[in-house]
Every structure is written in structure tokens, then in C-alpha cells.
Amino acid sequence: MKIMFLLLNPTSFLSVLITIITLINSIASQPAYIYTFCSDPQNITENASYTSNLSALLSSLSSKASLNSFYTDSSNGIYSLYLCRGDVSSNTCQTCINNATREIQRRCASNGTAIIWYDMCMLRYSNTNFHGVYQNNPRLFMWNNENTTSPDELNFGALSLIYTLMEYVPYTDMMFGTNQSASHDGSQKRYALTQCSRDINSNDCSSCLGILRDAVTQCCQAKRGWRIFAPSCSMRYEEYLFYQLPSTPVPVPSPQVPEPVPGESNTKTWLLRN
Ligand SMILES: *[C@@H]1O[C@H](CO)[C@@H](O)[C@H](O)[C@H]1NC(C)=O
Ligand SMILES: *[C@@H]1O[C@H](CO)[C@@H](O)[C@H](O)[C@H]1NC(C)=O
Ligand SMILES: *[C@@H]1O[C@H](CO)[C@@H](O)[C@H](O)[C@H]1NC(C)=O
Ligand SMILES: *[C@@H]1O[C@H](CO)[C@@H](O)[C@H](O)[C@H]1NC(C)=O
Ligand SMILES: *[C@@H]1O[C@H](CO)[C@@H](O)[C@H](O)[C@H]1NC(C)=O
Ligand SMILES: *[C@@H]1O[C@H](CO)[C@@H](O)[C@H](O)[C@H]1NC(C)=O
Ligand SMILES: *[C@@H]1O[C@H](CO)[C@@H](O)[C@H](O)[C@H]1NC(C)=O
């Protein structure tokens, strides 16, 4: 895998463009890592005490992931939270959070604030209390560089699917939902997913999803697939089934969530923080 970072400084914000040149050859059991964002350097003389306090908090947090798909915890002035994608098994959630707690410390051990995103989960911590505080920055954009195969479609299909989800996802217990529809010409299917972090309320979830929906034009209009992540919510759209369908009454061996299709080898990622 080759990643290229390009630091841009347009008007008032700073953004980072990363081009993933080749497909992330993820081994099925390993969680698909996306991006880490660290900020807020810690006082160096307090570093040792801070990192050991952080480590204790995160290992305690990690131990919750076999039973809970969402958890918040705090100790010694550090606040943490993780959220697994609403469709993943508890096994996948645990694997993802285990990796996330270790990886975020490897990358951001001496930072007061950090967030790590995977396909299947996300984890954050901060030395200020963010629990229940709606946050739509920084925003991470990831898209398939190929345009949609239906030229007249321009993602209107994507947005209408997202609208159907926004109507009820903020008001469900899981604050998570998926939906599918037919492509414009009816020959193919389209798939979408939205999710909010369950520490925020329905109004904030709705606002967060609205911000991301509007941001689609910044990166992803007419793209075959895209994802936008913020600390409090996320959404994704693809031309292939990328989520687990709700389990059927008759237990059949559940297929692995399909890994990125060939078209996804040409993926771009862009971080925007204000
Ligand atoms: C993270 O913390 C380290 C050590 O304090 C610091 O050097 C680095 O600049 C911080 N990173 C960011 C993005 O603030
Ligand atoms: C760092 O921490 C030490 C010990 O608590 C304190 O004396 C010092 O003022 C702090 N430095 C900064 C820059 O905050
Ligand atoms: C803080 O501690 C971590 C973990 O021990 C270490 O990796 C890092 O280099 C230290 N950072 C600073 C700025 O001393
Ligand atoms: C780490 O936790 C201890 C209490 O267990 C506390 O006294 C100390 O101030 C904490 N360190 C930092 C840097 O907050
Ligand atoms: C997390 O998983 C990745 C593979 O996705 C692996 O390369 C990495 O070593 C793991 N990190 C830790 C800290 O175990
Ligand atoms: C996708 O469409 C845009 C706008 O029509 C065009 O500028 C761009 O070159 C196309 N990209 C690809 C990879 O075909
Ligand atoms: C899913 O999308 C279809 C087509 O856009 C729509 O008719 C339906 O109401 C949506 N269902 C849910 C549960 O959002």
C-alpha cells in the first residue's frame, strides 16, 4: 500500500489529501484501518503519568467491546468513547476495538485529543469532556475516484437514499440504519448506511447527518462510492452491498462483509478540520 499525503491550505481551513494508490490488501481477520487524527500536544513533564493513565483507561475500555457496541468511560481527567458500526458482530467489534486502542496509543500517546477511524469501528479520547457534545469536525472524506456508471445519476440516488435514512436513524436506539434502492435505470442496486454516536441526542444526530449530507458535494458528487466520517456521525454509499443484512431467522453461515471490490483500488481520502 502506498499513501501520499498532500497538505492543502485553501481559505480558512486546513485539509489533508491522501491518495491510497493500491488496494489495502486486508487480511479478513484484521480490521480495515482508515485514519488517525491526533491533536493537542501534552505537557512533556507530565507525559509519563498521562500516557500511563491513558493506557489504563483504554485497556479498561477495550475490555467492554465483547459485550457492548458502544461505550464511554473516563478516569483521571481523560474521556474516552468507542462505537462499532451497527451491523457488525460482537466478535468483529472486539477485534476492531482491540486494535484501535493499541494503534491510537502507538500514534498519539502524548496527545490530549485523538480519534481513530476504521471501517467497522471508531475510538476517541480527550482531556476535555466531550461526552454528549455533538461534533462534526474534523471530517474525513473517502471516495472511489471512478465516476458512477450511470452518467445522469450524479448521486441524486445516493442523496435520496440518505434522506430516507435521516428520517428515522436519529430516532432509533442504535442510531444506525442501512437502506438500498435501484439505480436510476433500474439495472443495479445502490446501498447506503448512516450512523450517529449514541452519546448525542436525536436532534444533534439529525444536524450532524445533515452537515455530512451537504458535504457530499465537496468530494463525492457522481462518485461510485464514498464515505464521510465525523466524530459524532458517519455515512457511506456504494454500488455494492458492503454491510451485513439483518440476520435471517434460519441460521446460515453468515458471509463475510464483502471486502472492497476492484473498483475501489483507486480511493482518495481527504481530512478537513476547521
Ligand atoms: C501530538 O503530541 C506530540 C507530543 O506532544 C506532538 O509533538 C505532536 O505535535 C502532537 N500532534 C498534533 C497533531 O498535535
Ligand atoms: C507542565 O507541567 C509541570 C508540572 O505539573 C508544570 O510545572 C509546568 O508549568 C507545565 N508546563 C506547561 C507549559 O504547562
Ligand atoms: C511520551 O510517552 C510516550 C510513551 O511512553 C512516548 O512514546 C513519547 O515519546 C513521550 N513523548 C514525549 C513528548 O516525551
Ligand atoms: C494520572 O492519574 C493520577 C491519579 O491516578 C493523577 O494524580 C495524575 O495527575 C494523572 N496524570 C495526569 C497527567 O493527569
Ligand atoms: C492493527 O491491525 C493492523 C492490520 O490492520 C496491523 O498491521 C497492526 O499491527 C495492528 N496494530 C496493533 C498495535 O496491533
Ligand atoms: C468524473 O467526472 C468529472 C466531472 O464530470 C470529470 O471532471 C472527471 O474527470 C471524471 N473522472 C473520472 C475518473 O472519470
Ligand atoms: C428505503 O429506500 C426506498 C427507496 O428510496 C424507500 O422507498 C424506503 O422507504 C426506504 N426504507 C427505509 C426503511 O428507509
Q: In this structure, which residue's CA is closest to atom 10 in ligand 7?
A: 164
**What local confidence, expressed as pLDDT, does residue 49 receive?**
95
Q: Is the pLDDT of residue 207 over 60?
A: yes
Lowest model confidence (mean pLDDT) among 44-58, 162-176, 242-256? 242-256
Region(s) of the chain under CATH 3.30.430.20 = 32-126, 139-272
Nearest CA to ligand 2 atom 6: 45
Confidence category of residue 247, pLDDT binned at 50, 70, 90: low
Average pLDDT over residues 190-207: 97
Mean pLDDT for 52-74 is: 97
pLDDT of residue 22: 36
Residue 4 has pLDDT above 50, yes or no: no
Please tell me whether the overall predicted TM-score, pTM, comes out greater than 0.75 for this model: yes
For residue 219, pLDDT beyond 90 = no
Q: Residue 185 pLDDT > 70, yes or no?
A: yes
* Distance from the Cα of residue 268 to its chain's centroid: 15
How far does the centroid of ligand 1 lie from the alpha carbon of residue 45, in Å? 14
By the 8 A CB rule, do 223 and 190 touch?
no
* Alpha carbon distances (Å) from 31 to 93, 151, 200, 245: 9, 34, 26, 19
Q: Give the ligand with the smallest distance to the CA of 50.
A: 4
3-state secondary structure the chain: CCEEEEEECCCCCEEEEEEECCCCCCCCCCCCEEEEEEEEECCHHHHHHHHHHHHHHHHHHHCCCCCCCEEEEEECCEEEEEEECCCCCHHHHHHHHHHHHHHHHHHHCCEEEEEEEECCEEEEEECCCCCCCCCCCCEEEEEECCECCCCCCCCHHHHHHHHHHHHHHHHCCCCEEEEEEECCCCCCEEEEEEEECCCCCHHHHHHHHHHHHHHHHHHCCCECCEEEECCCEEEEEECCCCCCCCCCCCCCCCCCCCCCCHHHHCEEEEEEEC
- 167, 181, 183: which to mutate for ligand 7, most atoms within 8 A of CB? 181
> Where does 139-272 sit in CATH, by number?
3.30.430.20
What CATH code would you report for 32-126? Answer: 3.30.430.20
For 254-261, what is the mean pLDDT?
A: 48
Which residue CA neighbors atom 9 of ligand 6 most closely? Answer: 147
| Nearest ligand (C-alpha, residue 36) | 1
Ligand 3 near 90 CB (within 6 A): no
Residue 36 CB–ligand 1 contact under 6 Å: no
Residue 97 has pLDDT above 80, yes or no: yes
Mean pLDDT for 179-204 is: 92
Q: Give the ligand at the shortest distance from the Cα of 54.
A: 4
The pLDDT value recorded for residue 153 is 60
Three state DSSP letters for 122-172: EEEEECCCCCCCCCCCCEEEEEECCECCCCCCCCHHHHHHHHHHHHHHHHC
Q: Write the residue with the smallest CA distance to atom 12 of ligand 4.
A: 50
Residue 264 pLDDT exceeds 60 = no
pLDDT at residue 166 greater than cutoff 60: yes
d(CA 122, CA 92): 12
* Range in 86-95, 137-146, 147-156, 249-258 with the lowest mean pLDDT: 249-258
**189 Cα–ligand 6 center, Å:** 22
Residue 5 predicted with pLDDT over 70: no
User: What's the 72 CA to ligand 7 centre distance in angstroms?
Assistant: 32
CA-to-CA distance for 153 and 147, rounded, in angstroms? 10
The residue whose C-alpha atom lies closest to atom 13 belonging to ligand 6 is 146
Taking only the tens place, the pLDDT of each residue in 10-57 is 333 445 555 443 334 344 457 899 999 999 999 888 999 999 999 999
Residue 11 grid coordinates = 481559505
Residue 186 has pLDDT above 70, yes or no: yes
- Residue 43 alpha carbon, nearest atom of ligand 4: 13
23's CB contacts (< 8 A; 6+ apart) are 1, 260, 262, 264, 265
- How far does residue 227's CA lie from ligand 7's centre (Å)? 20
User: Average model confidence (pLDDT) for the chain?
Assistant: 84
Q: Nearest bound ligand to CA 53? A: 4
Mean pLDDT value across residues 177-190: 88
